[in-house]
Amino acid sequence: MGDRSFKLQVRGIAYAYIVLGSLGVTEALLELIVLGSISLDGFSVLAIFIGRGLLRWKEGSRHGALLFAGLGIFGAGVASLFLAIACYGLLVPNEVSKNLSVSSGWIPLILVIAFSIAWSMWQIKLLAGSFAYDFFSAERARLAEQLAKRKWQFSLREGLLLVTLVVFLLARAFSGDIRYETRAMTNSITDGGAIAGLEYGVKFDRYKVRPVDLAYIVFSRAIGSWSPCVKTGGGSSHFKRDTLYIETSDGTRIALPAEHQICEIIDGTLVWHDLRVTFDEFNEFQRPSHHHYKFAEFAEFVQQLRAKAETHD
């Protein structure tokens, strides 16, 4: 293999690591902005370091790429083993058609396994051995001589510091944002054969630093079948700020949370209640299994709970 061909292939691997790592970091930043949660894959950061190091012909990056290649072959081997076990379990008499329909969904997995093996073997073939070691040493010495003549250069360390600063500023900018999550449950009741449902919204800041608050409670009853009353009027399915509403029988949409915390919908008729409760009181109501999600029963339960607390005080 010529020196020029070797250098081009190493740079191709380096840029591939940088691109893959950058995609992982970008996904983490989008998740931080949109969902308010931080989930950064350590392999993405390592991939950027390895790619940058390969461009600088660093020995440690060469070893890191070989380690990744070894892990890729190991992972592909494990995936192939599970795939073989699944195929063996499906290859039973009189179920050939079922096996073919199920195995057709495995084509993407087979392609991923084949690509992982080919990608890993290419790296091992290119970066392992004495030729790669000698070439890296010579190129590293030459590059160090060129860098020594420069007065300033943008290093990877400075780039990571810049990314950290940007993430911190974004976190500060969105720290006061509020999110709501709606949770629903149903329970059949005996009077008139109606189905009772209860939906409640939990309020918290984007990074879940502030205490959880109960934003709204919607009691509802319907004859025959029950469906959720709280709907989403647009926006992301994960990020529901200012998109939740309930719809009355005449088609009027009322945004949630509203001025009142609790409302009741009976066959499309909306009734607001002045009672306000804490999240702890609501959780106490959910514990017993005999409740049927009626507002009257809930109000009586809260009154008894508060009277009991005053007695203990």
Per-residue pLDDT, 191: 58
Q: Are 38 and 2 in contact (CB under 8 A)?
A: no
- 105 or 8, greater pLDDT: 8
Q: What is the pLDDT of residues 116-127, one digit of tens each?
A: 889 889 888 888
pLDDT of 307 strictly over 80: yes
Question: What number is the average pLDDT over the span 275-299?
Answer: 81
Who contacts 225 (Cβ-Cβ below 8 Å, separation ≥6)? 195
Per-residue pLDDT, 45: 76
Q: Are 202 and 180 in contact (CB under 8 A)?
A: yes
Rounded percentage of the chain residues whose pLDDT exceeds 70: 67
Q: What is the pLDDT of residues 203-227, one digit of tens each?
A: 776 555 555 688 889 988 877 677 7
- 53 or 249, greater pLDDT: 53
Q: How far apart are CA 299 and CA 293, in angstroms?
A: 11
Q: What is the pLDDT of residues 261-276, one digit of tens each?
A: 999 987 778 889 999 9
Per-residue pLDDT, 235: 43
Per-residue pLDDT, 173: 60
pLDDT of 21 strictly over 70: yes
Q: How far apart are CA 41 and CA 191, in angstroms?
A: 53
Closest to 226 in 3D by CA, of 254, 183, 181, 184: 184
Q: Are 31 and 23 in contact (CB under 8 A)?
A: no
Give, in degrees to the nearest 5, the angle at Cα 245 between 227 and 198: 40
pLDDT of 180 strictly over 50: yes
- 171 half-sphere exposure, CB direction, 13 A CA radius: 14
Q: Are 214 and 277 in contact (CB under 8 A)?
A: yes
Per-residue pLDDT, 99: 45
pLDDT of 94 strictly over 50: no
pLDDT of 87 strictly over 80: no
pLDDT of 39 strictly over 70: no
Closest to 6 in 3D by CA, of 145, 182, 126: 126
